[in-house]
A and B are shown apart, each in its own frame.
Chain A
Amino acid sequence: MRIRSVSSAVVLGMTLASLVVGACGTKKPPVARPLPPPPPITTPPPPPPPPAGPIRETPVVPAPAVVEDPMATRSIDDLNRDSPMRAAFFDYDSVELSAEARAVLGANAATLKKYASWAITIEGHCDERGTAEYNLSLGERRSVAAQSYLVSLGIPAGRLRTVSYGKEFPFDPGHDEAAWAKNRRVHFVITAK
């Protein structure tokens, strides 16, 4: 299809050029310059079929690089249980991303770039010290802060859904600073791959 249209354009260009040359002979209108020859169309040779081993991959997965990656063969639940996407943590009543949180988000962005089909939900969570009502909004701001940073690193916003859980799902049920520090977080949940 592409070849045909390019070649017809070339033919058309040459015809026009010859017409112009025949009519005037002196001037060369810039509009009628012949098109440069099309670049050679290099169709990549079809990937050779794997030599002898059993083919586990379904043909739906087109990226051959992922074939050897254990991530590709794991279920979403397995991935989330031992997630390559790490949680990022916040200070008390804060939505600021610390340097540490940015480093975590940067690594997560790299993972998302590597696995371009993954979609994730960013869960915003809070510690128990704030009120339940206000914390729904605080968790929302945390998830949006993480989402905005990932978008700034080139991840399409359409792959990043945000959900706030306020303080409803603490990661550590304790009642001290060590527990609270673990609970002020954004969690990354892989929802599609």
Chain B
Amino acid sequence: MRDPASCLVAGVALWSVVALVASPGSGGPHPPQAPQQTEVILSISGEPGARPRYAVPDFILRTNDAETAAVAKLMGAVLWDDLAFEREFYMVPRDTYRTIPAAKSYGEIAFDRWRELGADGLVMGSVERTAPGTFRVEVRLFDVRSRRSVMAKEYTGTAANPRLYAHTASDDIHLQQRALRGAARSKLTFSSDRDGERVFNSIQPRDVKEIYISDYDGANQRRVTVTRKLNIMPRWSPDARAIAYTSYRRDFPDIFVSLIYQGTLENPTGGRDQNWLPAWSPDGTRICFTSARDGNSELYVMNRDGSNVTRLTNHPAIDTTPTWSPSGTQIAFTSDRNGSPQIFIIDADGLNLRKITSESWCDRPTWSPAPFNEIAYASRTGPGYDVRILDLATGERRQLTYGEGSNESPAYAPNGRHLVFMSTRAGKKQIFAIGRDGQGVRQITTVGNNYTPDWSK
């Protein structure tokens, strides 16, 4: 089967990523042997006890045309946002840069002026159009005090998605400066009714929902499914090349997998049973899901191709909403076997069941990636829900959202430092991102209603 809309989701490949040798000034403190030079990590520090302050001015134009100018303008703004997102650096607001003359080359950087502005690190870059639609983007990170370039990278590729240059540079800077895996190149997926399509079946007109994907910051939102049916609860495969979701394309809930770069569709469960809420094992070889095939909601595990289905739970109550531990040895899920829905953990072989929440109503557990060992879930705190996190080692519970609308369906960023969730705080149902410390909330979607997000791994 082919899913034509998925063909649109062609990845923008970075044709090559070339690391330039760091080019310190002539009188650097390090011996000039080149092989050792590349190994040296030059970390920019801020004032004692404060985060380093970074500035990202507009990129330098190497070729003088409108296309280059547009890409250069985008680079600075997107890179600033990307670096701000992880909150490892204090990002000096871009509207304060206008008193500083724009450099036409790296030799003209007014380091004294940037120092006056309080910048510790300066991210400068250049954009060159090498052929129509093809660019070479260079990004350098300068230590403003020492005036040294501590990182230099060159990226070449097409203009199909210029934001990806900035995302890649941001991840490289976080990796080099903070040994941190940034989230700038990760992606989101969610279900949306934004197209306003309705099915006029014989009972009532009904909204359809389609699966969408977007960049981590909400840019490049694209539709994956074109079924004019209900498509809900998408989950990224660990390699971020496929999305498993619950689709009513055959008028009952079943699990489908869209391979977004091939534009193909798989239906591993098949048959006539109702199956929903697929969850990929961390290695991507298995899918845990809920099925009513034996008369009520139980958890099952199958191989990715649908073979070797084994039943995990066996209880007349509801067992649903599975999530795997990072090691793949345990599965957390929702069950109402003790009354109201609560979160339980079971070993992946079906043994060692234990209950971990005792609240009013808990659902949609999402296990954090390592090194964090915690489970986020939606907990009823009033008329609606809030996102809470249970630390599995300490048993401590903390709350991320506080009663502003209903906040449900949390999912972790690949580095575990952020979560994405659905909230009604802005009126309609929208996707928001928030730090795992409960700070830095960002609205991701604005059009239509958007539900049940997931973050690529």
Contact = CB atoms under 8 A, between A and B. Distances in A.
Interface of A: 76-81, 93, 121, 129-134, 136-138, 140-141, 144, 161-165, 168-169, 171, 187, 189
Contacts of B276: 136
B203 A133 contact: no
B364 A131 contact: yes
Contacts of B204: 169, 171
Nearest to B383: A129
B430 interface: no
B320 A134 contact: yes
21 contacts: A76-B202, A80-B203, A81-B202, A129-B383, A131-B385, A131-B409, A133-B363, A133-B452, A134-B361, A136-B277, A137-B296, A137-B297, A137-B320, A140-B297, A141-B318, A144-B296, A163-B252, A165-B230, A168-B232, A169-B230, A189-B203
Given A136-B277, A171-B204, A141 B297 contact: yes
Interface residues of B, number: 41
Contacts of A130: 341, 361, 363
Interface string B422-457: 000000000000000000000000000001100000
Interface of B: 201-204, 206-207, 209, 230, 232-233, 246, 248, 251-253, 274, 276-277, 290, 292, 295-297, 318-321, 334, 336, 340-341, 361, 363-364, 378, 383, 385, 408-409, 451-452
A171 B203 CA distance: 9
A127 to B, nearest CB: 12
Given A131-B364, A134-B361, 13 more contacts: A129-B383, A130-B341, A130-B361, A131-B361, A131-B363, A134-B334, A134-B341, A137-B290, A141-B296, A144-B292, A162-B274, A164-B274, A187-B203
A77 B297 CA distance: 31
A132 B361 CA distance: 12
B320 A133 contact: yes
A132 B341 CA distance: 12
A160 to B, nearest CB: 13
A171 B295 CA distance: 26
A131 B408 contact: yes
A141 B335 CA distance: 13
Most chain A C-beta atoms within 10 Å of own C-beta, residue among B203, B378, B408: B203
A131 B115 CA distance: 51
